[in-house]
Amino acid sequence: MADIILGIESSCDDTSAAVIKDGWLLSNVIASQDVHKAYGGVVPELASRAHEQNIVPVVSEALARAGVSAGELSAIAFTRGPGLLGSLLVGTSFAKALSISLDIPMVMVNHLHGHILAGFVKEEGKPVVQPGFPYLCLLVSGGNSQIVKVNSPLDFEILGQTIDDAVGEAFDKCSKMMGLGYPGGPVIDKLAKQGDPERFKFAKPHIPGLDYSFSGIKTSLLYFVRDEIAKDPDFIGKNKEDICASFQKALIDILMDKLIKAAKQTGIREITIGGGVSANSGLRTRIVEEGRRRGWNTYLPEFKFTTDNAAMIAIAGYYHYLAGERTPLDVAPVSRMADF
């Protein structure tokens, strides 16, 4: 009998549902929230309200596209955390109600583990290319920057992580500071393609081990731009492409320096990236180049699986389900990784 998993993702501002059958993706539906652009960042209360409006039609559409009835589902995988508590509460509550009504089990998923396993989603008509275990995953998103050693689909070891801001926060905050818009990552990536990455230099942190820090480089850019605007009020307008190119290169250098160090220390040559920032064209190009130079086998997720989506939750839930894991109905969502 086939194992059919419904995945539900609601950790931030995207409501998503996906259906996976024996590891193969049947559907993946995402409803995004444009309301946050006016505020330069996600407003938690607005996000949770939008999830309430979107979750029923999104799940219904995912089932319809998959050609699967609710009665055929084996289990419901849902994001327990980390993320925005109100948003997570919507997804968790919906999963509980559906679990009770269908009398099928729930399986909770760590949102970050979903990103790490996004590359294991199989699609009809596409070659199956997956890393071998163990592999290293550079996990980079708006709230997290980590180097994770993945020993199996359910065995993860964090080798290094940010001690302050994540790289996605650095992109967003600096884009907002320069008046370039939100979300900052795609904006800076687009402008960086037109600029000179060697034009400006930014101080890089010296953090021991494999941990990251992005607070200092963010402050460095802030003071640099402030001082230049004092000399020329139109400094950003005249130089935004070069600023973005130089800033993006500095961030990628920081990420790659530690990833290279981790690969050397562990001897692992299977390398992947995951999370929203893994859609950055500069980072994707750099990791492939380093892979050729260093003999790595590199695996890049498809763009549609880099941002928050339920397909990654469904595939992670699928592995938890196969391992016999089940989640009780009294489970509560958690906003922080430390509470998972």
pLDDT tens track for 190-245: 999 999 999 999 988 989 999 999 999 988 998 999 999 999 999 999 999 999 99
182: confidence class by pLDDT, cuts 50, 70, 90:
confident
Confidence band of 38 (pLDDT split at 50, 70, 90): low
Mean of pLDDT values over 317-333 = 97
What is the pLDDT, as a whole number, of residue 207?
93
Total length of the chain: 340
pLDDT of residue 35: 56
Q: Give the pLDDT confidence score for residue 337 in this predicted structure.
A: 76
Q: How far is CA 210 from CA 101, 258, 273, 336, in A?
A: 46, 6, 16, 21
- Averaged pLDDT for residues 16-20: 98
Is 136 within 8 Å of 150 (Cβ atoms)? yes
Residue 111's pLDDT band, with cuts at 50, 70 and 90, is very high
CA distance 126 to 133: 21
Crossing angle for the helix pair 235-266 and 281-294, to the nearest 10 degrees: 30
82 pLDDT higher than 80: yes
Per-residue pLDDT, averaged over 265-274, amounts to 98
The proportion of the chain whose per-residue pLDDT surpasses 70, expressed as a percent, equals: 97
Query: Dmax of the chain from CA atoms?
Result: 70
Q: If you average pLDDT over residues 9-18, what whole number do you get? A: 93
Task: Quote the mean pLDDT of the chain.
Answer: 93
Contacts (Cβ under 8 Å, ≥6 apart) of 60: none
> Quick one: pLDDT at residue 32?
75
Q: For residues 182 and 172, is the Cβ–Cβ distance under 8 A? A: yes
Q: What is the DSSP string of 34-71?
A: GGGGGGTS--HHHHHHHHHHHHHHHHHHHHHHHT--GG
Q: Read off the pLDDT band of 40 (50, 70, 90).
A: low
The reported pLDDT for the residue numbered 177 is 83
Average pLDDT over residues 61-90: 97
Q: What is the CA radius of gyration of the chain?
A: 20
> Taking the alpha carbons of 109, 113, 117, 123 in that order, is the dihedral positive or negative?
positive
